[in-house]
A = this chain, B = another copy of it.
């Protein structure tokens, strides 16, 4: 299974000595399933806001970080972490008022029927728990995901992640549907995306029925990140969600990537679609780097589960995580980051459209707040993905001081996720750098 933008160990001998030594050491110490980014991997040693520095003092714009979404080492979050870690770090089997304050504030960002929270440490754990809840609640095992979805690395969630290149056998029963795309691959035009996606869900439900599999969950990332970043037109998910709920499925919105203001217009990605998922999972930016994740759900769904079993996650919702999570919400509100995300995102998109007019290789620009996908093709032809060129651009951007990566099954979509504190000058630097790459790198495969 080839990973996009993964370091190729065959090229080791071409690297500078220090990197060769570090990579050899890493190969001798860590499991080989880990992948490094880039043809010449980066050794990062320091971060501050949108910037990171490598061991040689070279500075990079970190435009691929939806974890440290408020910027590296944000002072308010850092202070909350440092202070609480010095006071107490303990778990949810004791009472803690700050955890409840945090839970209340987090729940208030969601639609009204999502009225209970559970905390985990990773998005994988949150999705795994969501699938357990859905299976307890429905008595079913059938799960619908998109064809190139990614939802985690536990046995159950990796089974729901076709982009990992492996499907765990057995539980749950996974049925895939085409991603809601309106570019390339002969997909529908934008106006028909919702109908096409809903038809995919209908077809998967029909396959389940003919297999004798009882439906449990429709699980999606509302930006369809791994599939290639698809979020338009706003509202297109409503039909598919209605059909899934009518068929008795639990609808799980995986907000690990689109959540916490990333889209600019809404706090949560699902809110762009006017839908009411039964469970919402949260992760990555939730602690701005601190391992904090969780889910919220309707209480009747959690009641069914609690009657059968208990749940305790040693580190999930501990006192330090609660303090960090609260600080993240402070910053999103206090620095008006949704507004900044919407504003800079729009400027970013306009600038990319400007590039697209000058570079025929830019086939499509998709922008949702500060989550951007730029699809690279040969000669402007949507049916001719420029995968090798995309890899060259990702590496060229890094050489020029900008970190991004790529996605989609065609491996030709630049995946761009800068911190939400991004400013106009950073966008300009990004655009100049990308312009230079598109001008000077060879498009041929």
Interface residues of chain A, those whose CB is within 8 Å of chain B, are: 1, 3, 6, 19, 22-23, 25-26, 28-37, 41-47, 52, 55, 65, 67-68, 72-73, 78, 81-82, 85-97, 100, 103-104, 107, 115-118, 120-125, 128-129, 131-132, 135, 141, 153-156, 158, 164-166, 168-171, 283-284, 289-291, 297, 299, 302-303, 305-306, 308-321
Contacts and interface: CB of A to CB of B under 8 A. Distances in A.
17 contacts: A3-B310, A29-B100, A31-B299, A31-B311, A32-B116, A32-B306, A33-B306, A44-B319, A73-B86, A81-B81, A81-B82, A121-B125, A125-B153, A141-B169, A153-B312, A154-B154, A170-B170
Given A306-B33, A309-B1, A314-B284, A95 B125 contact: no
B43 A164 contact: no
A141 B116 contact: no
**Is the contact region of chain A dominated by helix, strand, or loop, or is it mixed?**
mixed
A8 to B, nearest CB: 14
A2 to B, nearest CB: 9
A73 B84 CA distance: 10
Nearest to A93: B37
Contacts of A94: 36-37, 41-44
A168 B284 CA distance: 27
Contact of A122 (B25, B81, B306, B315): B315
Contact of A19 (B95, B154, B164): B95
Contacts of A19: 95
Given A68-B89, A103-B30, A156-B154, A313 B124 contact: yes
Nearest to A53: B88
A308 B91 CA distance: 36
